[in-house]
Amino acid sequence: MTDPTTSRPEARMHAVLPETADTVDEVLDYARRRALATDIPLDQALRPRDLERLAGRTVTPGGIGARRATAVFENILAPACLTTDHPGYLSFIPSAPSKAASAFDVIVSASSVYGGSWVEGSGAVYAENEVLHWLAAEFGLPQGAGGVFMQGGTIGNLSALVTARDVARRRFADEGRERPSRWIVVCSAEAHSSIASAADVMDVQIVGVPTGADGRLHGDAVAAALDEHGDAVFAVVATGGTTNFGIVDDIASIAAVTHERGVWLHIDGAYGLAAMLVERMRPTFAGVELADSVIVDPHKWLFAPFDACALIYRDPTVAFRAHTQHAEYLDTLTEAADWNPSDLGIQLTRRARGLPLWFSLATHGTERYREAIDYGIHLARRIADEIAARPGFSLVRDPQLSVVVFRRDGWTLADYDRWSQKLLDDQIGFVVPSSHAGEPVVRFAIINPMTTYELLVEILDSME
């Protein structure tokens, strides 16, 4: 005979609570082992049919249980994912979150903190704002500058450009002028692909300006573009550290031009702007203090887990006007004078993704961050000198930050591909070929403080 009490939803829910405790224990045990492990392999991708054979069917009507699901992830799915915080992961832009940041990311999820509004997450927003204000001060922006942690640099760039266009639209309306038939963004021909993506989403034109012989965008070239396209240009984007080479544009000369002409200046510093935390590097970024908006990705060179982009505005009030969403159920939020992060970017729903960085900074202090970033810059210079001294090797360009681009003289793309695959098969490093001016090259993107000079030399030796 069925117990009538178990037919009630609340009774059935109480009956599964012991399983919930076991599930949490299972997950946290794996998380602890993974976070503290010192011998995590690089791993590499598997083919879909191999994963299907190994993992089998895991989403079933009755479930497979926490223990088996954790085992499938730990032993099959995770090893099919490259370990981006491995010291030998040197392609693209690596990630190397501190243990403090990774551990606290668990708490962010476990706490069910909503980070979109002050009324719902004031404690989290306060902590995030402390970090944002610290970064703004490091970048030389004035008191009152502030922003929001977004999903990543692509969303951060898009949100900043949406704000810039809104400012231009309002200015044209206030002055009684007709808007251009199509708005224009001016940027370097070497700008990150996310700028072109943002322009496409916004249905605006992008004008890529050639860089100088030094690979940098300069103010005179920007001025020429503004002369040609006139008031249709609503924003200029300068890059604070390109992904391929780590090159910082001539921001000071660009800022002088945009400031004189009243054009919004946005700095895409997703990778490189963190280098401003190192005192000796600040002259390289002169002019950032004049920007209207900047981004930097903590999941890159600020040792936070995926995914986080700090978007900072010189004057956040213009972002509020551009991004605040209006709906009857949001009246409580939009009619209050609170600082709502969702009013500063295109995302309404957001997790408090800045908290892991806050916790790591609060735990370790800002000086440890400066030292870790400085280490990457120093290591890049050291291995670049080694490359330049080796017969058969040549630098494509001296490193400005922590990206080292070089060639193995006489190698074709096929040679690089074979070498890269063997390096990964041997679990030594993940270094994929890139290209420059149509020539295949290879690059080290050095971010992880666990990457050593000895490891980089070993990788070079494998190219002999």
Residues 6+ apart with CB under 8 A from 332: 119
Going along 409-454, which residue ranges are E strands? 433-436, 439-445
Sheet holding 433-436, edge to edge: 393-397, 403-408, 439-445, 433-436
Pairwise CA distance, residues 346 & 351, whole Å: 14
192: nearest Cα among 244, 235, 151, 229: 244
Say how many Å lie between the first and final Cα of the chain, rounded.
Answer: 77
pLDDT in tens, 160-190: 999 999 999 999 999 999 999 999 999 999 8
Cβ atoms of 429 and 442 within 8 Å: the answer is no
Cβ atoms of 43 and 79 within 8 Å: the answer is yes
Residues 6+ apart with CB under 8 A from 106: 28, 31
Helices (H), 111-213: 118-138, 153-174, 193-202
In this predicted structure, the answer to whether residue 52 has a pLDDT above a threshold of 80 is: yes
Structural domain boundaries of the chain? 4-81, 104-363, 366-461
Cβ atoms of 432 and 420 within 8 Å: the answer is yes
The pTM of the full predicted model, rounded to 2 decimals, is 0.91
Percent of the chain with pLDDT over 90: 81
Q: Fold for domain 366-461? A: Aspartate Aminotransferase, domain 1 (3.90.1150)
Q: What is the CATH number of domain 104-363?
A: 3.40.640.10
pLDDT band of 11, cuts 50, 70, 90? low
340: nearest Cα among 309, 356, 317, 306: 317
In 3-state terms, what secondary structure has residue 325? coil
pLDDT band of 325, cuts 50, 70, 90? confident
- Helix, strand, coil abundance in the chain, percent, nearest 5: 50, 15, 35
Cβ atoms of 232 and 286 within 8 Å: the answer is no
Pairwise CA distance, residues 68 & 113, whole Å: 29
pLDDT in tens, 359-416: 999 999 999 999 999 999 999 999 999 999 999 999 999 999 999 999 999 999 999 9
Pairwise CA distance, residues 455 & 453, whole Å: 5
The secondary structure of 353-380 as a DSSP string is: TTHHHHHHHHHH-HHHHHHHHHHHHHHH
Which tokens belong to 155?
């969303």
326: nearest Cα among 343, 313, 350, 345: 343
